Amino acid sequence: MKKISSAVIRRLPRYYRTLKEMEREGIERTSSLAMGQRMGLTASQIRQDFNNFGGFGQQGFGYKVTELRGQLASIIGLDAENGYSFVIIGAGNMGRALGRYTRFSREGYRLLGAFDDNPAVIGTEIDGVPVMPMEQLVDFIRQNSIDIAVLTVPASAAQNVADMLADTPIRGIWNFAPVDLVMPPSVVVESIHLTDSLMTLTYRMGQCGEESPESAE
Amino acid sequence: MKKISSAVIRRLPRYYRTLKEMEREGIERTSSLAMGQRMGLTASQIRQDFNNFGGFGQQGFGYKVTELRGQLASIIGLDAENGYSFVIIGAGNMGRALGRYTRFSREGYRLLGAFDDNPAVIGTEIDGVPVMPMEQLVDFIRQNSIDIAVLTVPASAAQNVADMLADTPIRGIWNFAPVDLVMPPSVVVESIHLTDSLMTLTYRMGQCGEESPESAE
């Protein structure tokens, strides 16, 4: 498959989200124009994005909402038979909030374990899942073939933990630590840098009046 | 000032973060090359980014870390006299976790109030700040000249709350609801779409082997 730009990749979940919204509203058919109006994109931008994946729908007839949503789910990888398993590393406030975020389980992401090095939280639970000591992390991942590690440890610990993960079957790290992780190419890293995002907001507030588009995240 | 691309704007906090890291490590002088190595960017990319703001440092002598960090803080707007005040709307798990995230207060962001419509959480506290009923939101923002609203309400409520905020002195919305908000241009919206980010990770895991750069967020 030809190389697809990261901007297009980042729009895939937005398309998927928009189509789910339309499904909930009972809309059965849509068009690039109608989707674009909801998303602040032009119809030609959407058609161009979809062409990266061979195109969908039929010229002049638009898209069937449920069918297109299914096609996008398959491209994103949401149709994997057993979904995705994940562990949370760092069972502080943010780790716990993410563990309890019901949208993830709805899309097939299953929290199987949580880890921390703080004796005060080891043995507690997140949504019924036990918080275990860090020493058990690597074995747990191997034994349970965990797909994704959610990293909510302090900045100072993040790279060390990531190095431990490099030796496991983990395929993706969802990193919330304010650090740019260095990982071998076999592990995908996707970061949410909260403070960076808040600072971007602040910068744009200072420029306001000139322009203020919705986040392009 | 000429229009600066959103990719450059999103790198500003990363530069700032990298320089703080260097300060903590006791590094006094740096170069585009050394910064680039930490950040996975080329030296010329960094110089080009900095040229958007008139350039820093002196050809051949590099940058003084603390001075450059200060210049970037000023560009981002972190040197505002009293920092920034914010409220959290939606005092669930995510709202509470964000309210307790100490990095924000360290950078001058002050949580002044939290709001929810759930009687079970109204009257509780987040880091000493009371959770108040939604009916008090608009008056509270006006009376306290709140700068930023952090939106951690369910998707179905997000646009309604945003519409309420449009009539207040709020200048920025940091949106965590999985919705693309529509706001007047006087209010800047920056969104963290958690599920979108997790799906982007999943997509890239499926493509893995071809490439896996650090998140470009």
Q: In this complex, do B192 and A192 lie within 8 Å of one another by their Cβ atoms?
A: yes
Contacts 24+ apart (CB under 8 A), A157-162: A157/A90, A161/A89, A161/A134, A162/A189
Kindly report the average pLDDT of chain A as a whole number.
Answer: 92
The reported pLDDT for the residue numbered A3 is 81
**Cβ contact A97–B97 (<8 Å):** yes
- For residue A14, the chain B residues in CB contact (below 8 A) are 180, 193, 196
Q: What is the pLDDT of residues A61-112, one digit of tens each?
A: 889 999 999 999 999 999 888 899 999 999 999 999 999 998 898 899 999 9
**pLDDT value of residue A185:** 92
Q: Which of residues 125-164 of B touch A (CB under 8 A)?
A: 147-148
On chain B, the residues whose CB falls within 8 A of the CB of A15 are none
| Contact call for A202 and B76, based on CB within 8 A | yes
Is the CB of residue B146 less than 8 Å from the CB of residue B114? no
For residue A213, pLDDT beyond 70: no
- CA distance, residue A93 to nearest chain B CA (Å): 5
Predicted complex ipTM exceeds 0.85: yes
| Cβ B95 vs Cβ B150: under 8 Å | yes
CB pair distance less than 8 Å for B195 and A104: yes
Interface size A-B, in CB pairs within 8 Å, comes to 225
In this prediction, residue B60 has a pLDDT band, given cuts at 50, 70 and 90, of confident
Say what the pTM is: 0.91
Confidence of residue A217 (pLDDT cuts 50, 70, 90): very low
pLDDT tops 80 at residue B34? yes
Give the sheet arrangement for strand A109-116, strand by strand: A125-126, A129-133, A109-116, A84-89, A148-151, A172-175, A188-191
As beta bridge partners, residue A189 has A173
Chain A residue with the nearest C-alpha to that of B154: A103
Collapsing DSSP to helix, strand or coil, B144 comes out as helix
**pLDDT at position B179 over 70:** yes
Q: Is A101 on the interface with B (CB under 8 A)?
A: yes
Residue carrying structure tokens 């909402």: A65
A interface test, pick of B205, B208, B210, B211 with most A CB neighbours within 10 Å: B205
Question: What are the tens digits of pLDDT across the range B116-144?
Answer: 999 999 999 999 999 999 999 999 999 99
**B40 min Cα distance to partner chain A (Å):** 9
Q: Could you tell me which of A187, A84, A39, A89 has the C-alpha nearest to residue B195?
A: A84
SS (H, E, C) A102-131: HHHHHCCEEEEEEEECCCCCCCCEECCEEE
Which residues on B lie below 8 Å from A185 (Cβ)? 208-209, 211-212
8 A C-beta contact, residue B111 and residue B105 = yes
Contact status of B214 with chain A (Cβ, < 8 Å): yes
Q: Of B180, B187, B205, which is closest to A188 when you measure between CB atoms? A: B205
Residue A198 is nearest to which of B109, B183, B216, comparing CB atoms? B109
Asked if B85 reaches chain A (Cβ–Cβ under 8 Å), the answer is no
A101 with B194: Cβ contact below 8 A: yes
Partner-chain contact A200 B3, CB within 8 Å: no
Q: Which residue of B has its CA nearest to A74?
A: B203
pLDDT (0 to 100) of residue A61: 82
Nearest beta carbon to residue A185 from set B40, B205, B212: B212
pLDDT band at residue B216 using 50, 70 and 90 as cut-offs: very low
For residues A146 and A169, give the distance between their C-alpha atoms in angstroms, rounded to a whole number. 7
- Give the count of alpha carbons within 13 A of A144, CB side only: 20
Residues 39-68 of A with CB under 8 A from B: 39-40
